[in-house]
A and B are shown apart, each in its own frame.
Chain A
């Protein structure tokens, strides 16, 4: 391997990840993509979901990202997300509660296509993605 690529995940609240990675796999708008060092420059939006990377030591890490986009440079990946959590920081209980809440809201709002329904839908997706990621640890 030619070397490691720098990975940075930044949200408006904090810097979530800033370390070297052997490989980064991110949920791009048009499908998941992997990045190694020397990747061509690339700019894409990200779906709500899981970003995976192998750290320097080779252990796999997972990060939840939502509402973000990624800029890939040959030696650096920068992810700007509205929210992001490392796997160990995910609060499963909160995600579960959020899921219930969102489901309820969607059920209530089924009849009308309004902004609340849209928001609830997005919240539901986020909750599901968070739970999926944290379940990987158990597996």
Chain B
């Protein structure tokens, strides 16, 4: 049986762990706030961008021949670039695992269809996993998710995907990121970024008319060609923001759980400790009483 000293040591240890998890929880909370603010700051840009792009695509004749290459799906898809976003650090519950599972499932599916998937990892956790599994990793970007990153990160990554698509190396590019639904729910999401899908046409007729009168310089088609890569960057940037926010939320929840568990462990250990202490005192008393009785005799 554990001695009093052992139990006491264990209690001290758990208390220290609890302090750490509590601190990590608070750090994650403040980082989460930062990430949310960043996502908030991005919204005006994203909204305006979608509006302009939507109205531009209205003006462009949608005939297949002249459509910008970034909008045209390939008839046969042989190679896909998969950009997987994970965090660099652990201790955030099932956050990375669920992203990796999503990626692995997708790759397996595609492999069965005979489609090559080239993996681009953003974040250490995903990279390490697939490296251990001896997958071929096309390229990697570390130190981005969850930290401070600017729009240029999305531009560089987007450029890579677009170049590979345009020069025929790949026929599609997809992104797996973690969508931030709520504090307690982050959903791994797969979305296609190249060729571009889901450019919304300007909905309100009034607005479409009003944009249609725009003078465009350069002409609308060229302007569109200029804007389309940006759409890819915007999507990647949004994915990065969402993933970062999700990571911090997941870590906050995980650390909150850990702190609670530490508390429970301390309570139960204290109980054991007190019982053991009581037993020791009783035994001591018995000794003394026994000794006194013997002397009297």
A-to-B contact residues, CB < 8 Å: 10-15, 28-30, 40-45, 67, 69, 71, 78, 80, 82-83, 115, 119
Contact = CB atoms under 8 A, between A and B. Distances in A.
A43 B223 contact: yes
B218 A82 contact: no
B41 A41 contact: no
Contacts of B226: 45, 69
B198 interface: no
B215 A80 contact: no
B44 A82 contact: no
A80 B52 contact: yes
A42 B218 CA distance: 11
A71 B41 contact: no
A43 B217 contact: yes
Contact of B42 (A13, A28, A67, A69): A13
Given A12-B151, A13-B38, A41 B48 contact: no
Contact of B45 (A11, A29, A67, A71): A11
Contact of A13 (B150, B163, B227, B230): B150
A43 B60 CA distance: 14
B272 interface: no
B166 to A, nearest CB: 12
The 4 closest A-B pairs by CB, nearest first: A12-B151, A44-B217, A41-B214, A43-B214
A85 B38 CA distance: 17
Interface string B156-194: 100100010000000000000000000000000000000
Contacts, number: 77
A28 B217 contact: yes
Nearest to B47: A10
Contact of A10 (B44, B227, B234): B44
A32 B49 CA distance: 22
Interface in B204-238: 210-211, 213-218, 223, 226-227, 230, 233-234, 237
A41 B212 CA distance: 9
B155 interface: yes
Contact of A115 (B38, B45, B159, B217): B159
B63 to A, nearest CB: 22
A11 B41 CA distance: 9
A10 to B, nearest CB: 5
A12 B214 contact: no
Contacts of B227: 69
Interface string B131-170: 0000000000000000000111011100100010000000
Contacts of B159: 115
Contacts of B44: 10, 15
Nearest to A68: B230
A24 B77 CA distance: 47
A40 B217 contact: no
B210 A30 contact: no
7 contacts: A12-B45, A12-B234, A13-B151, A42-B215, A44-B223, A78-B48, A80-B52
